[in-house]
Amino acid sequence: MREKHRRFVEEYLVDLNGRQAAVRAGYAPSSAKNRAHQLLRTPEVKAAVAEGMRERSRRTGITADKVLNEYARLAFSDLRQVTDWGPEGVQPKAAKDLHPDQARAIAEVTETKNKTGGGLVRVKMHDKKAALDALARHLGLFTDKSAEGDGTNPPPDLKVIITGGDPPDEGRPPGRTSAPGEGRLPGEGRCPNDDSSGEG
């Protein structure tokens, strides 16, 4: 294999970005996209990339099955597994009571307090729609890009008032325990696409 091709393979394995790999390998930026496309269709380059990815999988222990299982945990997570709600309001469950699979579905937990002793707990789940999209693409359920959504809607947060008083800077009437639309399952959105082999 030519040295420049070998360099391209090494750079491509860094981030799977064909165009950027070609630039870093020394190809002109103006032609890098087309060059990457050509290289990734070359048998010896394809074989070298495949072997590099297999070696990385062996080295890190990260396999396709592990990735798909993690997507499945996010895609099929259930908000009821990490929160309780009813007439008394909404409360997140204690971390010690969560199964590891349930905890993995949570992206972020934050808490704020106000001067009156009230406060707000925000539980942000990983994007179910994005994980479902990823699984659907892997299973070949999408026949065109329109089926994947436009990626313009970020996942909403679950917001919970945990003690008395108005939450800071929320502007809600006294006595409300949640705002309209709160307590929803994580919503629309999709994983941002990387500039990967399509670039090449």
169-178 — which CB contacts under 8 Å span 24+ positions?
170/120, 177/89, 177/90, 178/89, 178/90
Q: Is 169 within the bounds of a domain?
A: no
- Per-residue pLDDT band for 181 (boundaries 50, 70, 90) equals very low
Residue 106's φ and ψ, nearest 5 degrees, are: -95, 125
Give the angle subtended at the CA of 11 by the CAs of 7 and 15, to the nearest 5°.
165
Residues 90 and 146 in one domain: yes
**The total number of structural domains that make up the chain:** 2
Residue 47 confidence class, pLDDT cut points 50, 70, 90: very high
Q: What is the H or E stretch that residue 91 is in? A: strand 89-92
Judge whether 193 lies within some domain.
no
Three-class SS state of 174: coil
Picking from 1-5, 74-78, 92-96, 193-197, which range would have the lowest pLDDT averaged per residue?
Answer: 193-197
Q: Looking at the structure, tell me whether residues 33 and 116 fall in a common domain.
A: no
Domain membership of residue 194 (yes or no) is: no
Give the pTM. 0.49
Same domain? For 16 and 82 the reply is no
For residue 15, tell me if it sits in a domain: yes
Is pLDDT above 90 for 146? no
Which CATH number covers residue 48?
A: 1.10.10.1400
For residue 129, tell me if it sits in a domain.
yes
Dihedrals φ, ψ of 181, to 5°? 90, -5
- Parent domain of 121: 68-161
Q: Tell me if 180 is assigned to some domain.
A: no
pLDDT at position 33: 94
pLDDT in tens, 66-113: 888 999 999 999 888 888 888 877 788 888 889 898 898 898 888 888
Q: Is the pLDDT of residue 172 over 60?
A: no
